[in-house]
Amino acid sequence: MDFILRLLQFIVKIVYNIVYVILTVILPRKKNEHIPTIKDKLLTIPLVEIIQLMRTKRLTSQQLVKAYIERIKEVNPHINAVVQDRFEEALADAKRADDLIFKCANSQLSQLYARYPLLGIPFTVKESCGLKGMSFVVGSLQRDGMKAQRDSIPVENLKSAGAIPLLVSANPEYCFSIETNSYTNGKCLNPYDARRTCGGSSGGEGALNGSGSTLFGIGSDIAGSIRIPSLFNGVFGHKPTGGLIPNTEVFPSCDSEECNQYLQTGVISRFGSDLGLILHIMAGENARKLEFVHPIETKDIKIYYLLGFSGLNGILHHGVTADIQIAILKAVKCLQQSGLTTEIAKIKGLENSTEIAFSGIARLRQLPLLMSEDTSVKHLLIELVKSYCKKSKYTKEGLTFELLRRTNAFMTPEKLIKYKEEGQKLKEEIINVLGNDGVLFFPTFPVPAIHHHTSSLAQWAIDYSLLFNVLGLPCTHIPMGLDSDGLPVGFQIVAAPFKDKLCLQVAGALEMAFGGWTTPVKHEFA
């Protein structure tokens, strides 16, 4: 372990524990009562069923797109998740899709859907994931007015499959935070509790999905940026195997091999059963690496689990809440009763998880910086102080992340190399444990949705998620209902490289067993 890094981590843990308790007492949970109830049953139907309705001409794209546009319009004033919409264009796209479907004879529909498997299906896109012609500001005053010059690869693949983008959603400055609060778009609110954040950096997508305002959304994940918002908003989120999907037109990104392993575009959805189809289309030609054509039965998957970090590493970390640990144990017991083999994982290499994870981020030299490259740490600290006084053009969350990178995560260059080697050994150890048919249940984050403006303290626990970016392993966050405060809880499922289908298979099984997404407010349709 690195003494300085761990001393800082422990100090921050103590401070955050105190802050968390104080805020919980002073700001007791206040349900986001202004979130409108869902009155249209159409908004509760999974993608796979929607496609069947459209193929049999019992539902039109225009009906579906209008329903989601209306939902977004009534919900967004209460969550502030939309950066820029393209509703008029989407309705025109939907009409073209309907024309294609209704002009096609029933005998030819299979051929049409083979070419356009998502024909007429609406979806939403995280602003940083590149939707041509739409805002590409990524929460930064320095990028004000910027537009995406082309679609990112996954967005392009989805559009080529006939899907219709509705909007680009909010993310924090440069995506450098686990809460979504920027000077360009303001604060994005959690649909379950307005006093807490929706997470980050795919916070807008998390809030839209959690409030039932999108069928599915595209996000990016370099340190938990899909999985943490999925936890905070009670939905499913999948980060694919490192390197599966190119990062072209995704911000921030770089050409280094490590960056392409860590940063992955993925999917957020209320419906675990939809993840496989969406990922298959997003991955394009690389989908063959996932071997979806060779399905695996849930009963043939081995379950390994951990309730958090152990030993000294666990003491130094913020502890995992009882409700999240119980969620893991409930899932394990359910699958055990279904005949699956389950056991506590024995992984020695996790003892230096913080060093392995943080050093990985520190090594990303080519990743864009908030401030000019020649900015000194002293100047950065001054700017950080100014940001707390709201006198800086940069957010305190972005500057805190920047400080971590500029200081090599408070480690020497030699330590960065050392922990890179340890990370490679840990990856090999996990792969050996899981094999071709095993998955690991592990906390996504130690606590449910955090309070606004506390991410600079809470992000010291991001190695629960970041570690698996650095290792390049696929992960799926699973929602498991609400805790005693009414906040969503859940955990992530981890598999060996390109064994994403194992995560998704278990996600589907647990969705059937526990119900998956729990709406923030009760539905009001007949």
Can you give the three-state secondary structure of 97-158, one letter per residue?
Answer: HHHHHHHCCHHHHHHHHHHCCCCCCEEEEEHHHCCCCCECCCCCHHHCCCECCCCCHHHHHH
Residue of 152, 169, 182, 201 with catalytic role: 201
Least confident of 27-41, 59-73, 329-343, 463-477: 27-41
Question: Does residue 28 carry a pLDDT above 80?
Answer: no
Which CA distances in Å does 15 have to 21, 381, 388, 409? Answer: 10, 19, 17, 19
Amino acid at residue number 341: T
Query: Token digits for 468?
Result: 């698996």
> How many residues are given for the chain?
526
- Span 127-184, pLDDT tens digits: 999 999 999 999 999 999 999 999 999 999 999 999 999 999 999 999 999 999 999 9
- 486 three-class SS: coil
pLDDT at residue 107, rounded to an integer: 85
Average pLDDT over every residue of 269-294: 96
- Span 353-398, pLDDT tens digits: 999 999 999 999 899 999 998 899 999 999 999 999 999 999 999 9
Run of H or E residues at 166:
strand 164-169
Question: Does residue 251 carry a pLDDT above 70?
Answer: yes
Question: Does residue 33 carry a pLDDT above 70?
Answer: no
Determine the Cα–Cα distance for residues 349 and 347; give it in Å rounded to an integer. 6
Residue of 126, 239, 415, 501 with catalytic role: 126
Average pLDDT over every residue of 246-264: 94
Omega before 201 within 30 of 0, i.e. cis: yes
Backbone angles phi, psi at 58, to 5 degrees: -95, -5
Query: Token digits for 288?
Result: 């063959």
pLDDT at residue 461, rounded to an integer: 94
Residue 36 · residue 58 · CB < 8 Å: no
- Span 468-477, pLDDT tens digits: 999 999 999 9
**DSSP code of residue 185:** T
Residue of 202, 220, 225, 273 with catalytic role: 225
Any catalytic annotation for residue 201?
Answer: yes
pLDDT band, residue 526 (cuts 50/70/90): low
Average pLDDT over every residue of 252-267: 94
List of residues 6+ apart from 125 with CB closer than 8 A: 131, 134, 155, 165, 167, 168, 169, 217, 218
Of 230, 196, 260, residue with least CA distance to 450: 196
In degrees, rounded to 5, the angle at the alpha carbon of residue 34 between the alpha carbons of residues 517 and 190 is: 50
Question: Does residue 32 carry a pLDDT above 60?
Answer: no
pLDDT band, residue 221 (cuts 50/70/90): very high
- 436 three-class SS: coil
Average pLDDT over every residue of 21-30: 76
Determine the Cα–Cα distance for residues 237 and 224; give it in Å rounded to an integer. 10
Q: How is the chain split among helix, strand and coil, in percent rounded to 5?
A: 50, 15, 40
pLDDT at residue 131, rounded to an integer: 98
Determine the Cα–Cα distance for residues 491 and 504; give it in Å rounded to an integer. 13
Determine the Cα–Cα distance for residues 433 and 304; give it in Å rounded to an integer. 9
Amino acid at residue number 163: A
Determine the Cα–Cα distance for residues 116 and 525; give it in Å rounded to an integer. 31
Burial of 239 (0-12, 13-18, 19+ CB in 10 A): buried
Q: How far apart are the first and last CA of the chain?
A: 58
Torsion of CA 359, 364, 365, 366, to 10 degrees: 180
Which CA distances in Å does 256 have to 243, 260, 367? Answer: 11, 6, 9
- Span 406-415, pLDDT tens digits: 999 999 999 9
Estimate the crossing angle of helix 87-103 against helix 61-79, to 10 degrees. Answer: 160
pLDDT at residue 34, rounded to an integer: 75
pLDDT at residue 31, rounded to an integer: 58
Question: Does residue 399 carry a pLDDT above 80?
Answer: yes
Determine the Cα–Cα distance for residues 296 and 499; give it in Å rounded to an integer. 11
pLDDT band, residue 27 (cuts 50/70/90): confident
Which residue do the tokens 């893991």 mark? 328
Omega before 368 within 30 of 0, i.e. cis: no
For residue 175, the number of C-alpha atoms closer than 13 Å in the C-beta half-sphere is 28
- 485 three-class SS: coil
Any catalytic annotation for residue 420?
Answer: no
Q: List, in sequence order, every residue forming a beta bridge with 31; answer none if it has no partner.
A: 193
pLDDT at residue 505, rounded to an integer: 97
Q: With a threshold of 0.95, does the pTM exceed it?
A: yes
CA-based torsion, 247, 430, 415, 176: positive or negative: positive
Burial of 442 (0-12, 13-18, 19+ CB in 10 A): buried
Any catalytic annotation for residue 427?
Answer: no
Average pLDDT over every residue of 112-139: 97
pLDDT band, residue 21 (cuts 50/70/90): confident
Determine the Cα–Cα distance for residues 469 and 226; give it in Å rounded to an integer. 11
pLDDT band, residue 115 (cuts 50/70/90): very high
Which residue do the tokens 């993840």 mark? 275
Mean pLDDT of the chain: 95
Q: List, in sequence order, every residue forming a beta bridge with 491; answer none if it has no partner.
A: 478
- Span 420-467, pLDDT tens digits: 999 999 999 999 999 999 999 999 999 999 999 999 999 999 999 999
